[in-house]
A and B are shown apart, each in its own frame.
Chain A
Amino acid sequence: MVTLASCLLYLVSVLISTTREDHLIAWLAALAIAIHVLEAALPSPIPGVKPGLANVITVLALLLYGWRVAVWVSLLRVLAGSLLVGSFLSPTFLLSLTGALASLAALGLATAVAGRHLSALGLCVLAALAHMLGQFLVAYTLIIPHPALLKLLPVLLTAALLFGLASGTIARMMYPQRPPAAP
């Protein structure tokens, strides 16, 4: 009986033992969540326009540790951020999640195709635009399928471009090198 219990304990400890990468992801995600929550408190003139500075953390995670870590950080940020803000499983959460997935897909594609030619700036701009387009697609197809919404798209894309440039500049100041070869 005792052996069985100790075996179980051992198994559990093996199953939930953390690696260095786990701690890394947790730290980065915590940073991103903090930014996410702070941003949620900012007033926004147009629905859907947010600085998206948490994007900086995702891109830095990508540059420093690869796409896998970036995916973890980004998705954890969306999940925990929504729990903290209180928007979990709401339409806002859905938009946030699709935006994150779209930008992760764009980042993965960009690093795989042209990783060595892009710095944090280009990656941030790409991620911001993909985030906005992904969000808009879901907003338009699921939440407000009205043609008038399309009139908002140029404004949203402009905001995404400007904020992408801003967060890209910040990310580049924090990490001026180019990413390592494609993961």
Chain B
Amino acid sequence: MTRGDGLVVICACLLVGLSYVQFWGAPDAGDASATREVRILSGGTEFARLPLDRNALVEVPGPAGITRVEIADGAARCAASPGSQGICQRAGWLREAGDMAVSLPNRVLIEILGETKGPFDSINY
């Protein structure tokens, strides 16, 4: 093996190693969930904006009563809401950017913010 060969092989190994770091490196999912936030709107104005990595229980007052928002395990949900049909609760745990739960009677909107574009442009019920 000549010195040039050695250099080529070393460079090639570096390139391969770099490609692993670049394409297989820590996926940004971890970072995204760390920076992901839940935004709670009440009556059209922002009531709170909380990080998803800290568990919390928020009480959001509205015209119909109090909507409880629970944050746990990197997800948020509407735990209780005065709406008679439970649509807000039925949205379940909100985890991905773009997920949202809405309580129309209480005029509360819970929405996950983040970089990733959600799979839907809109959802109709």
Interface residues of A, Cβ cutoff 8 Å to B = 110, 114, 117-119, 121-122, 125-126, 129, 150-151, 153-154, 157-158, 161, 164-165, 168, 178
Q: In the bound complex, how far is the Cα of B22 from the Cα of A151, in angstroms?
A: 9
| Smallest CB separation, A50 vs chain B (Å) | 17
Pick from A110, A118, A178 the residue with the most CB of B within 10 Å: A118
Q: Contact at B9–A165, with CB atoms within 8 Å?
A: yes
Q: Contact at B2–A157, with CB atoms within 8 Å?
A: no
Q: Contact at B9–A125, with CB atoms within 8 Å?
A: yes
| Smallest CB separation, A116 vs chain B (Å) | 8
Interface string of B8-48 (1 = CB under 8 A from A): 11001101100110011000000000000000000000000
B20's nearest neighbour on chain A, judged by CB, is A154
Given contacts A129-B15, A164-B12, contact A151 B24 (CB under 8 A): yes
Let me know if B5 is at the binding interface, CB within 8 A: yes
Q: Contact at A126–B19, with CB atoms within 8 Å?
A: no
Q: Which residues of B contact A125 (CB under 8 A)?
A: 5, 8-9, 12
Q: Contact at B5–A150, with CB atoms within 8 Å?
A: no
Q: Which residues of B contact A126 (CB under 8 A)?
A: 8, 12
Q: Which residues of A contact B23 (CB under 8 A)?
A: 150-151, 153-154
Interface residues of B, Cβ cutoff 8 Å to A = 1-5, 7-9, 12-13, 15-16, 19-20, 23-24
Q: Contact at B13–A161, with CB atoms within 8 Å?
A: yes
Partner pick for A117 among B4, B12, B20, B24, CB 8 A cutoff: B4
A178's nearest neighbour on chain B, judged by CB, is B2
Q: Which residues of A contact B4 (CB under 8 A)?
A: 114, 117-119, 122
Q: Which residues of B contact A153 (CB under 8 A)?
A: 19, 23
Given contacts A119-B1, A122-B2, contact A157 B16 (CB under 8 A): yes
Q: Contact at B16–A158, with CB atoms within 8 Å?
A: yes
Q: Which residues of A contact B1 (CB under 8 A)?
A: 119, 121-122
Pick from B4, B7, B13 the residue with the most CB of A within 10 Å: B4
Q: In the bound complex, how far is the Cα of B86 from the Cα of A113, in angstroms?
A: 72
| Smallest CB separation, B120 vs chain A (Å) | 19
**Which A-B residue pairs are the 8 nearest by beta carbons?**
A117-B4, A122-B5, A122-B8, A118-B4, A154-B19, A154-B20, A121-B5, A157-B16
Q: In the bound complex, how far is the Cα of B2 from the Cα of A99, in angstroms?
A: 26
| Smallest CB separation, A129 vs chain B (Å) | 6
Q: In the bound complex, how far is the Cα of B8 from the Cα of A129, in angstroms?
A: 11
Q: Which residues of B contact A121 (CB under 8 A)?
A: 1, 5, 9
B5's nearest neighbour on chain A, judged by CB, is A122
Q: Contact at B24–A122, with CB atoms within 8 Å?
A: no
| Smallest CB separation, B54 vs chain A (Å) | 30
Q: Which residues of A contact B15 (CB under 8 A)?
A: 129, 157
